[in-house]
């Protein structure tokens, strides 16, 4: 007897840019499209992000989909995370990592990214450690940026040439638990940096703390991915059935 696996929407991600919304700019998300005027309905239904940006799982995100039998589907407004009816998680470390890839250079020209240069920087947004609420705003336009580091991370020593330890932490979880502690050699008195090899870890946002460094968060391992503007990392536990909104800011307000 044949059977069919059914999927339901676990999360909805909506990304908005006012320059492409026409007469409904400033009104999204729209609770009731039927209440819009004819012209507003036309602009709302014409809105399609897919030729402009590609929101797709990163390598780590695909691993999450494969492990839990989830699916990511792009939509005109962003995308949906689909899950089988049997899926459920209370583990806050289960997250879907999505990359935001530029397809149309015109989108970048119309966007105020809030930084002088995007070189070696990525915006990084998340709903982790936030109370679940439908319509949660991942960003209202002020994009939080991280320095982007290769998988071999260089950290400046406060006092050059000093042996020490560096803790690698998960900044998405409460109290930033330690993932690994590295014993680092200070080298010669003139050696300015420590080097940490994270090539065996998935690309992502990590926190580095230690007695001889400036504590900091970095986006690690994304450097070789072309056209990547930023990362959206979505915590799944507690967010079933919710929609999240991402608002870009126009460069021509």
Cα distance between residue 134 and residue 146, in whole Å = 26
Q: What is the mean pLDDT of residues 27-32?
A: 94
Cα distance between residue 233 and residue 11, in whole Å = 12
23 and 118 belong to one structural domain:
yes
Contact 161, 188 (CB under 8 A): yes
Q: Residue 116: pLDDT band by 50, 70, 90 thresholds?
A: confident
103 and 140 belong to one structural domain:
yes
Instruction: Kindly state the tokens that stand for 94.
Output: 């289960």
133 and 238 belong to one structural domain:
yes
What pLDDT is attached to residue 198? 97
The domain that contains 187 carries what CATH number? 2.60.40
Any idea which residue has 């080097």 for tokens?
195
Cα distance between residue 4 and residue 78, in whole Å = 27
Residue 5 has pLDDT above 80, yes or no: no
What pLDDT is attached to residue 119? 85
80 and 189 belong to one structural domain:
no
User: Which parts of the chain fold into alpha helices (H)?
Assistant: 38-46, 59-68, 105-109
CA dihedral 114, 119, 120, 123 (to 10 degrees): 30
Cα distance between residue 41 and residue 231, in whole Å = 30
207 and 172 belong to one structural domain:
yes
Q: Is 123 contained in some domain?
A: yes
100 and 167 belong to one structural domain:
no
96 and 42 belong to one structural domain:
yes
What pLDDT is attached to residue 3? 61
Q: Is 2 contained in some domain?
A: no
What pLDDT is attached to residue 76? 97
Q: What is the mean pLDDT of residues 192-215?
A: 97
Q: Is 237 contained in some domain?
A: yes
Proportion of the chain above pLDDT 90, given as a percent: 86
Q: What is the mean pLDDT of residues 49-57?
A: 98
Residue (of 157, 182, 160) closest to 169 by Cα position = 182
Angle at 215 between CA 217 and CA 140, to 5 degrees: 40
123 and 189 belong to one structural domain:
no
What pLDDT is attached to residue 140? 67
Residue (of 179, 205, 62) closest to 124 by Cα position = 205
Residue 142 has pLDDT above 80, yes or no: no
30 and 119 belong to one structural domain:
yes
Of the ranges 115-119, 162-166, 202-206, 234-238, which one carries the lowest mean pLDDT score? 115-119
Where in the sequence is the domain holding 172, given as residue range(s)? 151-220
């Amino acid at each position: 007897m044949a059977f069919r696996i059914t999927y339901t929407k676990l999360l909805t991600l909506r990304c908005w840019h006012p320059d492409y919304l026409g007469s409904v700019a400033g009104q999204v998300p729209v609770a009731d499209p039927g209440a819009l005027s004819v012209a507003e309905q036309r602009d709302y239904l014409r809105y399609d992000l897919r030729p402009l940006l590609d929101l797709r799982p990163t390598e780590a995100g695909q691993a999450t989909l494969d492990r839990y039998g989830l699916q990511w589907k792009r939509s005109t407004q962003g995308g949906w995370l689909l899950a089988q009816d049997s899926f459920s998680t209370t583990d806050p470390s289960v997250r879907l990592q999505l990359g935001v890839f530029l397809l149309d250079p015109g989108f970048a020209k119309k966007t105020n990214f809030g930084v002088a240069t995007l070189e070696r920087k990525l915006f990084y947004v998340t709903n982790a450690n936030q109370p679940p609420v439908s319509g949660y705003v991942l960003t209202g336009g002020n994009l939080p940026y991280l320095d982007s580091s290769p998988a071999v991370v260089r950290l400046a020593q406060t006092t050059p040439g000093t042996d020490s330890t560096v803790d690698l932490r998960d900044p998405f979880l409460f109290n930033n638990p330690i993932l690994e502690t590295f014993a680092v050699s200070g080298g010669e008195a003139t050696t300015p940096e420590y080097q940490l090899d994270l090539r065996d870890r998935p690309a992502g946002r990590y926190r580095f703390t230690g007695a001889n460094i400036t504590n900091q968060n970095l986006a690690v391992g994304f450097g070789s991915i072309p056209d990547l503007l930023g990362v959206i990392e979505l915590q799944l536990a507690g967010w079933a059935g919710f929609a999240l909104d991402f608002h870009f800011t126009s460069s021509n307000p």
